[in-house]
Structure 1
Amino acid sequence: MPESEALALRGGNQSRTRAHNERLVITLLHRNGALSRAEIASRSGLSAQAVSVLTRKLEAEGLILGGEPVRGRVGQPSIPFRLNPDGASFIGVQVGRRSAQVVRGDMTGRIRDKVARSYAHPEPELVAEFVMDAVAVIAARGDLRPATGIGIAIPSEMWNWAGLIGLPEARMQGWRDMRLAERIAAETGLPVYTRNDATAACGAELMFGRADLPADFLHLYFGYFVGGGLVLDHRLYDGPTGNAGSIGSMPIGWQGRPRQLIELASIHALEQSLPDGRVLTDEGGWDMPAPLLDRWLAQAAGSAAHAIAACCAVLDVAAVVIDGWMPATVRASLAGRIEAALPGFDFSGMRRPQVIEGTLGRAARSIGAAAIPFGAHFLVDQAELVPAGAG
Structure 2
Amino acid sequence: MKHFTTIKDQDRKLDIMDHVNQDHHKELLIIAQTYGKNNAIHDAVIVDIYEEGILLHTQDPSSASKQDLFIQFELKGDLEEQILYLAYNSFAKQKIEFSNNAKQFFEVIAKSQVSPNMTRLTIKSQTPLPEYYAGYAYGFILKLLEKAPVVQTNTSNQSGTLKNLFDRGFLWVMKHLSTQKRQKLMKNMNKDVRLYTLRQAFASGSDEQGLYFGYVDVFTHGTSPGSQWVQQLNTGSLISSRTETDDKHDHLHEGQAVLIADETAFPALAGILDFWKNPIPPIIILLCADEVDFAYFDDYVFPEKANIKKITGIVNEQGQKTIELLRLLTQLDQVWGALENNAAKQIRHYFRNERKLAGKNNHIKGYWRLDKKH
Q: TM-score, normalised by structure 1?
A: 0.30
Q: Which has the higher helix share?
A: 1
Q: Which has the higher strand share?
A: 2
Bigger relative contact order (CA 8 A; separation at least 6): 1
